Amino acid sequence: MKLLHQSKYVEILYDESKSLIVDKFLSTTDDMTTEEFKEEMYIFVKMCEEYHPARELVHLIDMQYPIVPEVQDWMNEEIFPRYLNIIKRMAFLMPAEIVAAMAVEQTMQEDTGKGFVQAYFDNEADAIAWLLEE
């Protein structure tokens, strides 16, 4: 996998042969601000627009940043519409009982988020296998 972006909070990786982009949030997100989260999401969208991956793995196992309702709304209005016609399948890798994970699920249930074929996993191999089936 090719590393497209790395910051204190996020790694974005791309596997061209699988048309797979990975948005991996790191444990350092415990002190991430809303503005920093938004900046990371804008970077991710730019990577999607540049590389046009058909599949996305959102790696949230270590994410500590809570996605509050206002940020969920922002994502549905500003972020998802920009790559709704790029990403065909989206898998979320997350711990089962984390509040941040529940916020992601809530975000994806909004109108724009429902436009993605999506599934939730707690095992990376299962998530990637699901992304690659068609």
Task: Supply the CATH classification number for the domain 2-132.
Answer: 3.30.750.24
Hey, where are the domains in the chain? Answer: 2-132
Q: Give CA torsion, residues 7, 32, 75, 109, to 10 deg.
A: 110
Residues 17 and 53: beta-carbon distance below 8 Å: no
Q: What is the pLDDT of residues 45-99, one digit of tens each?
A: 999 999 999 999 999 999 999 889 899 899 989 998 998 899 999 998 887 665 3
CA nearest 10: which of 46, 37, 48?
37
Q: What is the pLDDT of residues 4-60, one digit of tens each?
A: 999 999 999 999 999 999 999 999 999 999 999 999 999 999 999 999 999 999 999
